[in-house]
Amino acid sequence: MKLLAAIIAHVLICHVLLFAANENTPIGGRSASMANSSVTLSDFWSVQNNQAGLADFSHMAVGLYYENRFMVKELSLRSGAFVLPTNSGVFGLSYNYFGYSKYNEQKIGLAYARAFGEYFSMGLQLDYLSTRIAEDYGSNNVFTFELGIRTKISEGLVLAAHAFNPIGVIIEDEYNEKVPTIFKLGLSYELSDKLLFVLETEKDLVYKPLIRGGIEYKIVEQAIVRIGYSTLPATTGSENFSISSLYAFGFGLNLKKIQIDFSSSIHQTLGWSTQISIQYKFKKRW
């Protein structure tokens, strides 16, 4: 009974408060430090956040990400990814693991991105999602996909959109339980080589939309600071637009081939989370 109660508690936390977290959670310390603003960014972690942003990535690279959510190890999120640019486009492979031995979710993604001229790019990812509850309670495995677009409207101004599971894949037929269908739309403006503003909205079909944004400032080439803010109606399920809020900040270190990003965020109700990501770049596009 204790085991069952623990599993139910974690399932409720994961699904009610966090959407079971790993299906469409933005990945990377850069995004996390701007309150998960990610849809317009073009960097290594676009392999998870908006595959269209991969089209401009020019180095073969690997990366790791870890999030200690609300300082509870059972709610931790671990991620790894590999990106391979080629003359035919950019390919990516990613893996997420959320939870712990008694309850966990895994996601494997295979991505492809391509630029169509200087101003427009598209990306597509095929996803394998697995949910497992220990002690013979069972597991579910499904396939879905996500796709994104990114366009440069003018010098420094970018518009991007992303859709996760637009076909509404069903996890459990008996209870009509579905993988979340989530849409994102965002704008970013690079005021100079040092200053970037990002703003986006996210809409789950079941919940009210949220709004998030952030600022990134490059102190020097090797050091970057960031702050962010997000409303959280989607994770509270409230009828109010913003009963809860998320505040975030962090910094990045650019050490030529190695990029390290640290961040920390505080949920108005649930408390602190910390995140770290590291990427290593190999040679340029094949």
Structure tokens at 157: 């101004």
Give the span between the Cα atoms of 170 and 174, in whole angstroms.
10
pLDDT-wise least confident of 128-142, 181-195, 268-282? 128-142
What's the confidence (pLDDT) of residue 176?
65
What's the confidence (pLDDT) of residue 173?
62
Give the span between the Cα atoms of 229 and 222, in whole angstroms.
24
- Give yes or no for residue 111 having a pLDDT over 70: yes
Give the span between the Cα atoms of 209 and 186, in whole angstroms.
13
The owner of tokens 């270190």 is 253
- Give yes or no for residue 132 having a pLDDT over 60: yes
What's the confidence (pLDDT) of residue 242?
47
What region does 244 belong to: left with phi over 0, alpha with psi -120 to 50, or beta? beta
- Give yes or no for residue 121 having a pLDDT over 90: yes
| Alpha carbon 234 to chain centroid, angstroms | 15
Q: CB neighbours of 152 closer than 8 A, spacing ≥ 6?
A: 118, 119, 120, 158
pLDDT band at 170 (very low <50, low <70, confident <90, very high): confident
What's the confidence (pLDDT) of residue 286?
54
**266 within 8 A of 275, measured Cβ to Cβ:** no
Q: What is the mean pLDDT of the chain?
A: 86
Share of the chain above pLDDT 70, in %: 85
Give the span between the Cα atoms of 39 and 51, in whole angstroms.
9
DSSP-assigned letter for residue 202: E
The owner of tokens 């990516």 is 92
* Radius of gyration for the alpha carbons in the chain, expressed in angstroms and rounded: 18
Q: What angle do CA 107, 139, 232 make, to 5 degrees?
A: 55
171-198: per-residue pLDDT in tens?
766 566 788 999 999 999 999 999 999 9
Q: Which residue(s) pair with 59 in the sheet?
A: 284
- Give yes or no for residue 123 having a pLDDT over 80: yes
- Per CATH, is 2-284 categorized as 2.40.110.10? no
Mean pLDDT in residue range 16-45: 81
Higher pLDDT, 135 or 175: 135
> What count of other Cβ atoms lies within 10 Å of the Cβ of residue 235?
22
